[in-house]
Amino acid sequence: MRNLTTFLSIAILLAFNACQSPQSNKKDAIGTKIDSLISLMTIEEKVGQLTLYTSDMDQTGAYIRKEYESDIKQGKVGAIFNAYGADYTRRLQEMAVNSTRLRIPLLFGYDVIHGHRTIFPVPLAEAASWNISAIQNAARIAAEEATAEGLHWTFAPMCDISRDPRWGRMVEGAGEDPFLASLIAEARVKGFQGDDLASNNTLAACVKHLAAYGASQAGRDYHAVDMSENILREVYLPPYKAAVDAGAVTVMTSFNDLNGIPATANKFLLTDLLRDEWGFEGFVVTDYTSIMELLHHGVAADTAEAAAISLKAGVDMDMQSGFFQKTLPTLVENKQLDEALIDEAVRRILKVKFQLGLFDDPYRYISKEREENDIMNPAQLEAARDMAKRSIVLLRNEKQTLPISTKVKNIAVIGPMGDNKRDMIGSWSAAGDWSKSVSLMEGLQARYPGANIQFAKGCEIEGTDKTGFREAKQIAEKADFVILALGEAYWMSGEAASRSTIDLPGVQQELAALIIETGKPTATIIFSGRPLTINWLAENSPALLQAWFLGTQSGHALADVVSGYYNPSGKLPVTFPRNVGQIPIYYSMKNTGRPFDANNKYTSKYLDVPNEPLYAFGYGLSYTKFVYSKLQMDKHSITAQDSIRFSLEVQNTGKLAGEEVVQVYVHDQLATITRPVRELKAFKNVFLKPGETQKISFSLPIEALYFYKADLSYGSEPGKFTIFAGGDSNASLSTAFELR
Ligand code: GLC
């Protein structure tokens, strides 16, 4: 009897599909199809769509646990993550489509964070490029490769603002500033999702981790987050909202609690803000087992309560805890939970599957031909190299130590990152094969074919062994130029990788001192997923570069920069503290009632360190020099109906062409609440030939002056404002205007 019912039901559904008039509104048609499908589903099948489980890997390769395979074939799982590859995803999809009653296709998700096979610079490095179009292109290429291997959905962009470099996941985000991070979040969503989610080379994006995960107390991962709603809205929420506004179809909850309510059970975040205020229509997935973690948070007494409160708060899909699968059918059967809540979650998830075109063709993202041709091709590798060189930040270059002349004959490369391939692709490197990454040594050998390039590791990344120092010093003494390659291992940043100190690990600092005291021309390159307290190097290394983790093409990008083939243009997306004691430290601080005054003890300062950071947000040098002048406004008194129009001139006074990120900051001098000393409100990437001067014009919308007031209303207030323009957040060229 049951089979006949099923057959008739499916026949009705298919007949309905056939009679759909082509001109009917696609959205309504999908909605109607979804409703008819839901009407056929058992409660177990509905909850199956709310369940996401991981694929696993062992020495024989990818595999699916027996219990998950059984669940898939019974329609009790709707999505699998960490599974990719044409053959493997086909096998899993066939389980769902051929064995289940309703043939609902699986969704395949994966952490494609900064590339899938061709690994781009880590997200924090990409942010250092301040090049929005390059960042969008990087996400586009990641989507091309990921979908060529059967994937539909990436758990990216990570949009967590972070102002605490002890937190290892700073590496995954776009830094400390909401304006820059919002533009980057939007670009990444557009890059992943493209113009048509149903196209077989676009990925569903996932805005994570809602919300404010980057403010984990003391920089300790998964720790509590507590802040005013004013700061939450002013600083931490904008990038998530920018990603939602860009059309992201999924959102992921964060592990942390926010003001006492875990994000995964936080109705304010997941319903009132995300859906009611922002109009989000996609689905919400939890982070890994975070429904189960409500038990540890102490806000749920048992599995059923954890499942119920997260569903009621606005969660649609349970990543890996299995709590929905285990408890929701019984709660509904016992009338302890309204099935309509589950239907709504199912509706949201099925809608994304329809949008991806999976109901038209569950195998549309599976193609052996694409898997062979659309991965690590020359164009993709070239884009990764371009992104990488734009991500490098020149921090110091005394006496034009860099670039290294191609006439140099003897180069010594010293340090544990010098011939390193694994660490180059950083954390969250998806399906990237580190053995295919280009090391610094390989990049230099390709760029300086005639030079004698010697390598000595000197020491490990961590540990106290200095036995390699002697050999390192020997090759340094024989060289014409020395490159020190130092930093963190890839696993020292990323998830569960908070550090209580952010010094160079191990004995690398001592190695650097030994080498630099030889007096040889030396450039130090720092590889890390966060700012490090490189104070001594900032004073003593003639040249200093921040290279983050630059991905597959690291070595070539670094060689492009140290050789001057590419004039470095990167700017820091995060502040570099002098020590951990300064943290949290960021450029848009408040002035306080006792701003620092060197002549007054009783002002805001430390006894043992200046207030200023080691390096400021937005800072980065070039091999040439840019001079700013003539900052002029169209008018110095405006109304709320006006735009804020002004221009300035930038001149390249050096001998090399180069790109500059012209930055514009605004200070609200007087308001009903305290305002930051300045905030980034615009920037432009400008390329200037030697001697060239360009007039750069800006027109800011009046919304650039909006802020959240004490009553959380959002808008501007009349008063005086200062505009600062320059090459970093200490820009001194300024002018003032009044909003009447
Ligand atoms: C991890 C991360 C999250 C990731 C998810 C799936 O714990 O917090 O960013 O997307 O699990 O791997």
Cβ of residue 660 lying under 6 Å from some atom of ligand 1: no
Where helices occur in 356-487 by DSSP H, the ranges are 368-373, 378-391, 440-447, 469-478
pLDDT single digits (tens) 407-421: 899 999 999 999 999
pLDDT digits (tens, 9 = 90+) for 27-67: 788 999 999 999 999 999 999 999 999 999 999 899 999 99
Q: Which residues contact 467 (CB under 8 A, 6 or more apart)?
A: none
Element of type H or E holding 178: helix 178-193
DSSP 584: S
Instruction: Give the relative orientation of helices 238-245 and 178-193 as an angle to the nearest 10 degrees.
Output: 30
CB of 483 within 8 A of CB of 559? no
Residue 23 has pLDDT above 80, yes or no: no
Q: Are 152 and 356 in contact (CB under 8 A)?
A: yes
Among 80, 287, 321, 498, residue to substitute to test ligand 1 (most atoms within 8 Å of Cβ) = 287
Cβ atoms of residues 159 and 127 within 8 Å: no
| Backbone angles phi and psi of 311, in degrees to 5 | -60, -45
C-alpha distances out from residue 484 to 44, 128, 731, Å: 59, 21, 31
127 pLDDT band, cuts 50/70/90, is very high
Is the CB of residue 224 less than 8 Å from the CB of residue 382? no
Distance 381 CA to ligand 1 centre (A): 26
> 495 CB less than 6 Å from ligand 1?
yes
Q: What pLDDT score does 27 carry?
A: 73
Cα(168)–Cα(440) distance, integer angstroms: 24
- Distance (Å, rounded) from C-alpha 558 to C-alpha 566? 9
Q: Is the CB of 186 under 6 A from ligand 1?
A: no
Question: Which segment of 1-5, 149-153, 202-206, 689-693 scores lowest on mean pLDDT?
Answer: 1-5
SS3 107: strand
Cis peptide before 667 (omega within 30 of 0): no
User: Is 711 assigned a catalytic role?
Assistant: no
Specify the pLDDT at position 475: 98
Inform me whether the pLDDT recorded for 292 exceeds 80. Answer: yes
- As a whole number, mean pLDDT of residues 442-450 equals 96
Residue-by-residue DSSP string for 406-429? TT--EEEEESTTTT--GGGG-SS-
For residue 418, the CA-to-ligand 1 centroid distance in Å is 30
For the segment 626-642, the average pLDDT, to the nearest whole number, is 97
Instruction: Provide the pLDDT confidence category of residue 19 given band limits of 50, 70 and 90.
Output: very low
Give the whole-number percent of the chain exceeding pLDDT 70: 97
What confidence tens digit (pLDDT) does each residue in 264-288 have?
999 999 999 999 999 999 999 999 9
Model pLDDT for residues 169-194, shown as the tens digit of each residue: 999 999 999 999 999 999 999 999 99
Task: Determine the residue of 53, 254, 288, 320 to mutate for testing ligand 1's pocket, defined as the one with the most ligand atoms within 8 A of the Cβ atom.
Answer: 288
Is pLDDT of 1 > 60?
Answer: no
Mean pLDDT in residue range 332-342: 98
User: Is the CB of 428 within 6 Å of ligand 1?
Assistant: no
Q: For 651-675, b where at least 16 C-beta lie within 10 A, e where not — what string?
A: bbebeebbbbbbbbbbbbeebeeeb
- pLDDT at res. 28: 81
Give me the mean pLDDT over the 660-675 stretch. 98
For residue 704, give both structure tokens.
Answer: 């650039």
293 lines ligand 1 (CB under 6 A): no
**pLDDT tens per residue across span 87-117:** 999 999 999 999 999 999 999 999 999 999 9
Confidence of residue 388 (pLDDT cuts 50, 70, 90): very high
pLDDT at 468 over 70: yes
The larger pLDDT score, comparing residue 60 to residue 242, is at: 242
208 pocket-lining for ligand 1 (C-beta < 6 Å): yes
- Catalytic option among 160, 164, 287, 668: 287
Q: Report the pLDDT averaged over residues 507-512.
A: 98
